[in-house]
Amino acid sequence: MKVLAIEDQPVAAMQMMALLRSLGHDAEHVKDSTDAWSRLTHGGYRVVVSDWRMPGIDGLGLCRMIRERGGDYVYFILVSSSPVTGENRKLALAAGVDDFLAKPINGEELGMRLHVAERIIGLAQQVKQLESFLPVCTYCHKIRDDQKYWQEMESYFSQRQGTKFSHGVCPDCYERVMAPQLRKLGIDAPAIEDLDKP
């Protein structure tokens, strides 16, 4: 996973980079939020591990900028040498921070948080894909999933979102399809408005 690490202290930066790389991530380091913003604009990073206190814009300010920008979701881990108090948590959550780590960074804890980040980013991509387009058969209205398998619309949404369907007939289809079929059978087709009356 592509991770951007932001740390202005050289020793802490080396430790962070060593941990990120030992966990198998493609990590890059910058010293401040200005450089980070430039990289984030062009680099395709989906995870940021940032020190809270830095010269210029601090970690919270950078996180706010990322959230205001929108686009692909960036998972933001804030690192602090100070104890994380209830008040600090509120500030960080309001800024859009996803998770916290205390200095010195524990490799196992960092690994767990990056694992969670990967899952959340994967889910965000699935949601984005669902929102962007769905391949639907023009004739039977089945939906093609990620594995190129065609399945009923009800089954597709039920598996992914837990959505349950109730079936009915829209006014257009009633007039175009059902009413003529009823008349053909010799049944007087009521107006659609009358069907909705108790």
Q: How far apart are CA 27 and CA 89, in angstroms?
A: 26
Domains in the chain: boundaries = 2-132, 134-165, 168-198
CB atoms under 10 Å from CB of 181, counted, come to 10
Q: How far apart are CA 191 and CA 184, in angstroms?
A: 16
| pLDDT tens digits along 101-141 | 888 888 899 999 999 999 998 888 877 776 667 788 887 88
Q: What percent of the chain has pLDDT over 90?
A: 19
- Encoding tokens for residue 96? 């859009």
pLDDT surpassing 60 at residue 198? no
Give the per-residue pLDDT at 196.
Answer: 62
Give the per-residue pLDDT at 160.
Answer: 77
Q: How far apart are CA 142 and CA 151, in angstroms?
A: 5
Phi, then psi, of 56 in degrees rounded to 5? 75, -130
Give the per-residue pLDDT at 131.
Answer: 64
We find that the CATH architecture of domain 2-132 is 3-Layer(aba) Sandwich (3.40)
Query: Residue 105 in contact with residue 16, Cβ under 8 Å?
Result: yes
Give the per-residue pLDDT at 77.
Answer: 94
| pLDDT tens digits along 63-72 | 999 999 878 8
User: 11-25, 111-125, 167-181: which range is least confident on average?
Assistant: 167-181
pLDDT surpassing 90 at residue 143? no
Give the per-residue pLDDT at 54.
Answer: 85
